[in-house]
Amino acid sequence: MKDHQTSNLLIGMAAGAALGAAGMMAANQNPRKVKRAARKVAKGAEQAVMQLDKMVTDFMGEHR
């Protein structure tokens, strides 16, 4: 149960960081650039979450 909570925390942190970066860029850019940057950030966040999930799965497999 604790490992599941840890993985949720890591996913939440990654998503929060991505949203924060997109928000900061939106403050000073034109809408087209913001949309492009948001797509890049979303793709990067998705990849980060997938890597975190794989790391947690591997860790769980080693410690069972």
* pTM for the predicted model, two decimal places: 0.49
Backbone angles phi, psi at 45, to 5 degrees: -65, -40
Q: CA-CA distance, 4 to 22, in Å (whole number)?
A: 27
For each of the chain's 64 residues, which pLDDT tens digit applies? Answer: 455 566 676 777 777 777 776 666 666 667 787 788 778 888 888 888 888 888 888 888 887 7
Domain that holds residue 54: 2-62
pLDDT at 1: 45
pLDDT at 28: 65
pLDDT at 61: 86
Q: What is the number of domains present in the chain?
A: 1
Alpha helices in the chain (DSSP H): 2-26, 31-62
